């Protein structure tokens, strides 16, 4: 068992063969450990990309500290250990993208790139692959345990290698009592799985941090083994201590331990079959609880049987079929960050060749978001940090431009708190103190010793964040802030990012201008604190697919006059004509509050958009029913009077009507095209046309909902009741149209 399957590839012939390469080999086969050693030995520069920070650090420690490999380096967010003599760097996808943005380390500009765990299909990994193809860079390898060669067919020509391995025995067992992965009685079922089996150390896979702490509390006192949580955003020293612990233990982990890391002594896996993944819905990212894929289940099973025999317990029935693979993250994510980084690199991300091209609406939403923030056309003055959303980046960029280090420091202090994903109990404990100032200001002005006591084990991660922001943006976090300064800061941020503005509607709920609710774990005095600004929030679907939005960091606005609030939307109030000008009057809104009203002159496109509305047009063209326009398939649209000279006369007539209505500005004013004019909704609202084109038709034994496509000269009979097709008598009414019958999902020409 000392030889690794990957060893059979490690020769000069392998390096001299064509690139790019695809290596498919099971977990523990040496992809991430033997390949780097071989490339260092051959003095080949390389960048190894691992999906998570904990993997990067663990792999570096194993290579450098355990195997004593020289010439290996690593870089993750907040940490960089690179020397000019190094041959290889282990990084996360975000760090590699930052190299594309800001330049590669010296000597690594043309280094070979190894993308490990490619089957996870992270958004950043797909973006990197598209960038490499755009640059015609082929010196890279894709490494995976579960990928299939056919998944890459037609994208590029890969030199492929599929390797097998003799592993230790893993006894795969299923929970027969539950048919599918579910949260129901999850703690009890996991406890029974642990209680009924002999093991030294166990690894339990759970969907998220909340479930980890709930299970840790549940198991406390029920087992003699140490219980350690492992999750993203955890303090690295604490995480490292838990993973390297030699004692018998139970690790409770998210999918962060699904790949690349070998934890010694694990002889039992308990798999909940659940994970939380991002889904893109209604222009927003939603964190959804769902069953894992077959690929993920196999990855989790591979965490045991690497250094000895093991057992894997799956908490679902064997007959339940998981999806073969998870939908690539790029197809279920907000792409605004990819679009912004692409622009900074010098490419249009929506024009890149992706392995799985995103949907058009995703790019459209991304462009709208960047455009609303003013980031689509102007070049940002700041570098783009790895973790920032485009909204956060916009705020930081604007505050940096204004040279207000106090506001910038305050914002990034609050953002660092949000990055910790603190539980609601953290804020609830502070609220019990009945503070006379907002919570955020209280925390910001705390002495360091008090802050350490408050944050406890999150303190180290928090200080690392502040240190990085100090290095990147010149922040000063040791200066206090007064209440009026703090309120001025909140107003400044609100005017930069109006979508983050939320208003109290009912107990513990805030609502923004778009009607989205935000849940906060406290009761707000609406008279004293009418509004707050949310620094960071996320959406989560519960087990019943009910969507909730949770705020993880927010700022109350106190003692602030309403006229100082930013305008978040405009609400149309009325249209009127005065002094030969058409006007629109609208209310200026700050969420649900009216700050005042304004009016503007209608001209150009806004004028025609107003006048083409059916009700408005009917009011302009007097006696619409008697001066009736209708669609005849063999004639032009003409007025009923015999003096008409066709459509141009109607155009003249409409212009004259507008003049009589007092409108004199015609720049960029265009009438509807004839075909669009016929298809306008107002035609079907006219009494004179309702008889010719009825919306519902009845005949003995049948009832139809009617649909018309007059542009294509088609009419559809949609069956409501009965099962008979339209009779010849009823079809004669539409003899000049092509008729179709919609019945039980079929469309039949009649």
Least confident of 252-261, 392-401, 585-594: 585-594
> Which comes out higher in pLDDT, residue 591 or 674?
591
Taking the C-alpha atoms of residue 134 and residue 147, their distance in angstroms, rounded to an integer, is: 23
The model's pTM: 0.65
Q: Name the residue with higher pLDDT: 585 or 417.
A: 585
pLDDT for 517: 44
Measured CA to CA, the distance from residue 419 to residue 299 in angstroms comes to: 28
| The pLDDT of residue 682 is above 60 | no
Residue 282's pLDDT is 59
Alpha-carbon span 356 to 496, nearest angstrom: 34
- For the ranges 219-223, 225-229, 298-302, 553-557, which has the lowest average pLDDT? 553-557
Q: What are phi and psi of 738, to 5 degrees?
A: -85, 125
The predicted structure's pLDDT at residue 487: 72
671 phi and psi, to 5 degrees?
Answer: -80, 165
Question: Per mean pLDDT, which range of 134-143, 144-153, 612-621 is the poorest?
Answer: 612-621
- Decide: 47 and 62 in contact? Cβ < 8 Å: no
Residue range 191-200: mean pLDDT, rounded: 92
- The pLDDT tens digits of the residues spanning 60-104 come to 988 998 889 999 999 987 788 999 899 999 999 999 999 998 889
pLDDT at 559: 45
Provide, for the chain, the percentages of residues in helix, strand and coil under a 3-state DSSP scheme, each rounded to the nearest 5. 35, 25, 40
Distances (CA, A) of 285 to 134, 176, 578: 27, 34, 46
pLDDT at res. 80 = 86
Which positions ≥6 away from 613 have C-beta within 8 Å? Answer: none
Domains for the chain: give ranges and CATH numbers.
Answer: 5-162 (3.40.50.300), 170-330 (3.40.50.300), 334-372 (no CATH), 380-564 (no CATH), 569-601 (no CATH), 605-688 (no CATH), 694-749 (no CATH)
CA angle 643, 646, 650 (to 5 degrees): 90
Output phi, psi for 735, to 5 deg.
Answer: -65, -25
What would the pLDDT profile of 610-659 be if each residue is shown by its tens digit? 666 655 655 554 443 333 333 332 233 334 444 444 444 555 655 665 56
- Cβ atoms of 314 and 176 within 8 Å: the answer is no
Q: pLDDT above 70 covers what percent of the chain?
A: 72
């Amino acid at each position: 068992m000392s030889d690794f399957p990957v060893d059979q590839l490690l020769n000069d012939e392998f390096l001299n063969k064509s690139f790019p390469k695809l290596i498919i080999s099971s977990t523990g086969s040496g992809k991430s450990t033997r390949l780097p050693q071989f490339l260092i030995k051959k003095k080949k520069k390389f960048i190894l990309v691992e999906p998570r920070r904990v993997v990067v650090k663990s792999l570096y420690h194993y290579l450098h500290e355990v195997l004593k490999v020289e010439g290996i380096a690593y870089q993750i967010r907040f940490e960089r250990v690179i020397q000019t003599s190094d041959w290889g760097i282990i990084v996360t996808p975000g760090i590699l993208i930052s190299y594309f943005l800001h330049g590669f380390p010296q000597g690594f500009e043309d280094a070979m790139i190894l993308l490990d765990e490619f089957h996870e299909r992270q958004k950043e990994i797909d973006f990197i692959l598209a960038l490499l193809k755009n640059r015609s860079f082929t010196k890279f390898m894709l490494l995976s345990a579960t990928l299939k060669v056919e998944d890459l067919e037609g994208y590029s020509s890969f030199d492929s290698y599929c390797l097998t391995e003799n592993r230790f025995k893993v006894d795969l067992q299923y929970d027969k009592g539950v048919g599918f992965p579910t949260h129901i009685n999850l703690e009890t079922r996991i406890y029974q799985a642990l209680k009924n089996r002999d093991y030294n150390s166990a690894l339990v896979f759970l969907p998220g941090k909340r479930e980890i702490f709930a299970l840790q509390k549940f198991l406390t006192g029920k087992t003699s083994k140490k219980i350690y949580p492992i999750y993203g955003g955890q303090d690295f020293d604490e995480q490292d201590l838990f993973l390297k612990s030699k004692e018998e233990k139970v690790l409770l982990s998210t999918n962060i331990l699904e790949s690349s890391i070998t934890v010694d002594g694990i002889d039992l896996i308990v798999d909940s079959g659940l994970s939380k993944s991002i889904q893109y819905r209604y222009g927003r990212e939603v964190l959804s609880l769902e069953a894992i894929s077959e690929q993920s289940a196999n990855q989790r099973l591979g965490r045991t049987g690497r250094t000895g025999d093991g057992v894997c317990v799956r908490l679902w029935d064997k007959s339940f079929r998981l999806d073969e693979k998870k939908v690539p993250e790029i197809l279920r994510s907000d792409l605004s960050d990819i679009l912004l980084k692409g622009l900074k690199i010098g490419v249009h991300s929506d024009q890149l060749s992706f392995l799985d091209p995103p949907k058009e609406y995703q790019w459209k939403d991304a462009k709208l978001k960047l455009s609303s923030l003013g980031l689509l056309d102007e070049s940002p003055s700041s570098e783009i940090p790895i973790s920032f959303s485009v909204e956060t980046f916009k705020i930081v960029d604007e505050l940096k431009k204004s040279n207000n280090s106090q506001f910038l420091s305050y914002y990034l202090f609050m953002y660092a708190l949000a990055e910790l994903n603190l539980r609601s109990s953290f804020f609830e404990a502070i609220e019990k103190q009945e503070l006379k100032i907002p919570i955020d200001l209280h925390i910001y002005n705390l002495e360091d010793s008090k802050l350490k006591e408050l944050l406890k084990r999150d303190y180290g991660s928090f200080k690392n964040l502040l240190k990085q922001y100090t290095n990147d943006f010149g922040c000063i976090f040791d200066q206090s802030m007064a209440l009026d300064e703090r309120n001025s800061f909140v107003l400044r941020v609100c005017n930069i990012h109006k979508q983050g503005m939320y208003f109290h509607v009912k107990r513990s709920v805030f609502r923004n201008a778009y009607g989205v609710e935000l849940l906060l774990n406290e009761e707000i005095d609406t008279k004293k604190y009418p509004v707050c600004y949310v620094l960071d929030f996320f959406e989560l679907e519960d087990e019943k697919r009910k969507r909730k939005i949770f705020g993880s960091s927010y700022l109350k606005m106190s003692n602030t006059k309403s006229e100082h609030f930013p305008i978040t939307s405009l609400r149309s109030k009325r249209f009127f004509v005065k002094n030969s000008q058409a006007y629109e009057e609208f209310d200026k809104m700050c969420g649900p509050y009216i700050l005042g009203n304004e009016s503007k002159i209608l001209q150009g496109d806004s004028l025609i958009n107003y006048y083409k509305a059916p009700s408005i047009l009917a009011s302009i063209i007097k006696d619409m029913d008697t001066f009736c326009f209708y669609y005849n398939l063999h004639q032009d649209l003409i007025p009923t009077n015999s003096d008409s000279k066709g459509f141009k006369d109607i155009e003249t007539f409409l212009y004259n009507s507008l003049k009589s209505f007092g409108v004199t500005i015609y720049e960029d004013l265009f009438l509807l095209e004839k075909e669009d004019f016929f298809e306008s909704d107002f035609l079907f609202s006219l009494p004179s046309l309702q008889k010719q084109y009825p919306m519902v038709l009845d005949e003995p034994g049948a009832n139809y909902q009617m649909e018309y496509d007059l542009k294509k000269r088609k009419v559809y009979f949609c069956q409501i009741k009965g099962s008979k097709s339209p009779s010849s008598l009823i079809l004669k009414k539409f003899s000049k149209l092509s008729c179709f019958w919609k019945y039980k999902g079929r469309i039949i020409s009649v």
